[in-house]
Chain A
């Protein structure tokens, strides 16, 4: 129970590595001291609140705006999806334009000994599919981002 709680806090803390180490050390000490004074792990966790509430309180004290951080993370995810989409589409188009017409083997002037045993997957198609998947993800993330923003504006 304690290990799980500390693990969750560790994952959610958005402070410097040094501060994180110090906080986790202090949190462990809090559990040890509580045990020494007859408190159970469950009682300590009830007192501390959920891992998220504990982290929010730390962030608030450090002046870290949790919502702004989440928004930034979401914007970054959208940016990554759009970058992957653009690169994939660009590579797909480049490969398609640069490839030789169908049924042409090389550009030799004489006989070659090339033997085609099977049909390879068209790499441009692969990139285009990858790009399309990234496009779908980017759109889904954008919708989630906009909805979240509207909801918060509505609540404010």
Chain B
């Protein structure tokens, strides 16, 4: 059975913030980003694919939150696009994290009132 649309909405809303977190850690490229995403969050978020991640990265880029730099790759002889956060991206992520923390506290306080449902 597929997951409910509510769960899908949660995931959709937080995915771009997660990408920003991964890019904030270090300058990274598509494959590495997807591998890390799947390794850490694959079980909960479902395994991400290029078809989903690329358009998100383009959106973050056009919103000027992320910047891309194309450089030759010594490892495979081709080129790689390395992503890093812009100043605006860093500020936005900080803002999102602050909001997320207070958001979860608030949501948890509602959840705590109906905890008996989980029994």
Q: Interface readout for A10-26 with B: 1 if CB under 8 Å, 0 if not?
A: 00000000010011011
Cβ-defined contact, B58 with A49, below 8 A: no
CA distance A28 to B52 in the complex (A): 16
Inter-chain CB contacts under 8 Å: number: 65
Cβ-defined contact, A29 with B80, below 8 A: yes
* Tier of interface size on chain A: 20 to 34
Cβ-defined contact, A49 with B78, below 8 A: no
Cβ-defined partner of A57 (8 Å) among B49, B73, B76, B80: B49
Interface of A is mostly: helix
Interface size on B, residues (CB 8 A): 21
Q: Does A30 contact B (CB under 8 A)?
A: yes
Which positions in B face A, CB cutoff 8 Å?
29-32, 35, 49-52, 54-56, 58, 73, 75-81
Q: Which 6 A-B pairs have the closest CB atoms?
A: A57-B51, A61-B55, A33-B31, A32-B78, A36-B76, A54-B51
